[in-house]
Structure 1
Amino acid sequence: MDLDIDHLRSWIGREDSASEVLSPSLVHQFNATFDRTSGEAPGDIAPLLIHFCLAQPAVQTAGLGPDGHAARGGFLPPVPLPRRMWAGGEFTFQGDIRIGEEVRRVSTVRDVVLKQGRTGPLCFVTVNHEVTSDGRPVLNERQDIVYREAQNVAGMKTTPAPATVGDDVMQITPSAAYLFRYSAMTFNGHRIHYDKDYVRDVEGYPGLIVHGPLQATLLCQFAADLKERAPKTFRFRSLSTIFDTADFTVNAQTEGETMKLWTAQLGGPVAMEATAAW
């Protein structure tokens, strides 16, 4: 497939923005989804990474592509490769979002790069998100998105080594209800997270896929719980896929003022690895 990288790079510099007031009801739903407790009254500090549920793009249903994502060529460049995945990113925390404040997101396409992978071309799109709460800078996020050719996992011939177990471990059951709740909160229409027939018959996967942002949220919250305070920076990258076919673990290993974290399906390889720093 020929990709016109010059045309795709013309999207660099494009911006998108939106704002939303963080309500106590959304925090209540967020805590219920993650089986957590926190303050839910106006003025209380919001849970880490709840910004994924706020000010998200809301494309009309008629404007969605066959995979449930927004059709190509709006804010993000129209990369013609069929599979779009969240490859990783980094957060720098500058302050706290508080319940009842207006959260504003300003997103900018920073780079578009074409590379050649083992299975074909890969197109990486880097997006920067600046998040403010009642006008105060609270978070800067770099998001790495990768586009690639379709690949049926059943045809993969390599079997990565199983992940090690961390010093601290939490086990999660990725039920269909759990994944659907998170999709609903983040207004994510991507069918791989809730439509089992689609993900199996069209994309060739054995089960529903656990969201990258959901894994990042679990890892970041786990780090903050263990350290008893939010990190200053949190960076991560996705290495493999977690399906709803078995439980997965959230792992941590403290190394001084940094913490290594990772997720892995039971008996499977590392799915997402992360580093939190204070």
Structure 2
Amino acid sequence: MSADVSVVRTETVLASVVEGYRGTFAAQEPAREVGAVLPAGWEGVLFGFAVPLADLRPDGTPARDGIIPEIDLPRRMYAGETTEFLRPLHIGDEVVQTTRLGSVVEKHGSRGRLVFVDVEREYAVDGEPAIRSVWHDVFLEAADPDAPVRSPRTDADAVAAADWSDEVALDARQLFRFSALTFNTHLIHYDRAWARDVEGLPDLLVHGPLTRILLMDAARRQHPQREAARLDVRAIAPILVDRSVRVVGRDEGDRTVVTALDAADVVLATADITWRDS
């Protein structure tokens, strides 16, 4: 697949879709009507997967989406992103999304072969770019139950050094709703047998694309008058259903560094947010 191939889709930002996210994950925030600004990160509930059932891989992720070449590895994960917010989207806007293939890099690590794939997306309104994003996905070999367990990355000082903290725990109903909102059929988010027996996880996995919105939401609620210019996310360890996650933030001028940790101070994900106004 050539990097110059693109898929163009057009979608209106519907209040009903935005309310579906708000009512499930951000009920403390006010409802938003047509004309209201779409919070940074919430573009992640737009443009759900649009792949026929026949073009899905066994794990429910797209095999043929017109962008990413077919990759002969059975597992696919969100690894992070870099997103630039150039100007706000509004509810009611007609948005044109252009998706292209970025870099494709194959590596060999301690757990076998991996392929890192970048997906580039641009969201435009009236011909003017509003958001540019590069998402990082990784394709992996089948889970090996006999592989040695890697030592987790911990950060015992993150909570003590934080300027603010929040807590979140997501249940299976919320994971189902996010899958429904985004038409995400990855079995790892709703099929416990698949998550445990095939992916080697203790339970259902919280969506990486959902985690990135939740981290952005936590920082945005602490700084309601500020406008995000950039979001850099790294997914580090699995976030599992029904587990309490501490979200802590450290403010550094025009930046906020957000860390998600479990009860044992294991780092699950990080987000580095740059604000447009200081």
TM-score (norm 2): 0.90
Tell me, in whole angstroms, the C-alpha distance in 2 between the residues paired with 1:157 and 1:42: 49
Q: Is the 8 A contact 2:206 2:239 kept in 1?
A: yes
Mark the CA change 1:17 to 1:142 in structure 2 (over 3 Å): closer, same or farther. same
Mark the CA change 1:160 to 1:20 in structure 2 (over 3 Å): closer, same or farther. same
Mark the CA change 1:106 to 1:161 in structure 2 (over 3 Å): closer, same or farther. closer
| Residue number in structure 1 paired with 2:14 | 23
Deviation per CA, 1:63-95, whole angstroms, max 9, x where unpaired? 322111122474211111111111111111111
Per-residue deviation at 1:158?
Answer: 3.1
TM-score (norm 1): 0.90
Q: Say yes or no: does 1:188 pair with 2:188.
A: no
Q: Is the 8 A contact 2:49 2:184 kept in 1?
A: no
Mark the CA change 1:150 to 1:80 in structure 2 (over 3 Å): closer, same or farther. same
Identify the match of residue 13 of structure 1 among 4, 25, 29. 4
Tell me, in whole angstroms, the C-alpha distance in 1 between the residues paired with 2:136 and 2:163: 29
Q: Which moved more, 1:161-170 or 1:117-126?
A: 161-170
Q: Which amino acid aligns with 1:226?
A: Q
Identify the match of residue 151 of structure 2 among 156, 159, 167. 159
Deviation per CA, 1:96-125, whole angstroms, max 9, x where unpaired? 111111122101112111122221122111
- The percentage of counterpart residues that share the same residue type is 33
- Structure 1 runs, 4 residues or longer, greater than 3 Å off: 152-156, 161-164
Q: Is the 8 A contact 2:55 2:65 kept in 1?
A: no
Tell me, in whole angstroms, the C-alpha distance in 1 between the residues paired with 2:69 and 2:263: 36
Per-residue deviation at 1:29?
Answer: 1.0
Mark the CA change 1:260 to 1:31 in structure 2 (over 3 Å): closer, same or farther. same
Q: Which runs of 5+ in 1 are unaligned?
A: 1-9
Identify the match of residue 47 of structure 1 among 20, 39, 49. 39
Q: Which runs of 5+ in 2 are unaligned?
A: none
Identify the match of residue 203 of structure 2 among 202, 207, 211. 207
Mark the CA change 1:97 to 1:150 in structure 2 (over 3 Å): closer, same or farther. same
| Residue number in structure 1 paired with 2:253 | 256
Q: Say yes or no: does 1:125 pair with 2:121.
A: no
Deviation per CA, 1:226-275, whole angstroms, max 9, x where unpaired? 22222211111111111115211222111222111111222251111111
Q: Which moved more, 1:89-98 or 1:47-56?
A: 47-56
Q: Which amino acid aligns with 1:247?
A: S
| Residue number in structure 2 paired with 1:99 | 91
Mark the CA change 1:102 to 1:255 in structure 2 (over 3 Å): closer, same or farther. same
Tell me, in whole angstroms, the C-alpha distance in 2 between the residues paired with 1:239 and 1:267: 15
